[in-house]
Amino acid sequence: MNPKYKRVLLKLSGESLMGHQGYGIDRVRLDEYASQIAEIVRLGVEVGIVIGGGNIFRGLQGAAKGFDRVKGDQMGMLATTINSLALSSALEAIGQPAKVFTAINMFPIGEQYSNRKAIEAITSGTVAIMAGGTGNPFFTTDTGSALRGIEICADVMLKGTRIDGVYTADPEKDSTAVKFDKISYAEVLNRGLKVMDLTATALCKENGLPIVVFDMDTPGNLAKVIAGEPIGTLVY
């Protein structure tokens, strides 16, 4: 198989790592993700990953409960680092080299991020997992993933979710919601669709980074997206 994309930024939500649990990391889900990621690396795809931290802590929700917003976002950055370490461990357990980079200095937990070091890793067949968002409060991991995707010169951002694409409304709440096969950044912004936050969508639009939203929870789907199969929604 000739992959459609040579270099990708894979964005995973922290909530998806919960699997069927209500909190934390589901080992079965984690191992499924690791297997899918290792499969596309074997195809010659260079992979950078950004993971959210919502299965452990979300800064915005913390702020709503009385946490200082800056400290809440910093707690969220630490949550993304925990998830990144878990995924790197799962990858290494199946023989796939992985390296955690952190947006702020956390040595020896991870190496401080630079795009040069991340590119060196992915071009050598190592998965670069970039933790800590942008390293700044008031920015989501969506924005962090858009920024990292642009910095490592990814061909596409693959947003793995539990939904199989972008819909006119939330398909889990509205049975009449219709799925888009593809949709422009402008239409996403005009319709107010929750693909990513506004800052992340604008970053991708300004820098020409396409997004593919797909269901990552079905094993084998990541390889199908890499092969160019139309199983998700292309945002361009």
Residue 149 has pLDDT above 70, yes or no: yes
Cα separation values, 171 from 95, 162, 198, 232, Å? 37, 11, 21, 14
Number of H helices, E strands in the chain: 8, 11
Angle at 119 between CA 224 and CA 207, to 5 degrees: 70
Q: What is the pLDDT of residues 179-225, one digit of tens each?
A: 999 999 999 999 989 899 999 999 999 999 999 999 999 999 999 99
As a CATH number, domain 7-165+184-190+204-235 is: 3.40.1160.10
User: Which band of pLDDT confidence, cut at 50, 70 and 90, is reported for residue 64?
Assistant: confident
Q: Using omega within 30 degrees of 0 as the cis cutoff, is the peptide bond preceding 219 cis?
A: no
Residue 20 has pLDDT above 90, yes or no: no
What are the boundaries of each domain within the chain? 7-165+184-190+204-235
Prediction pTM value: 0.94
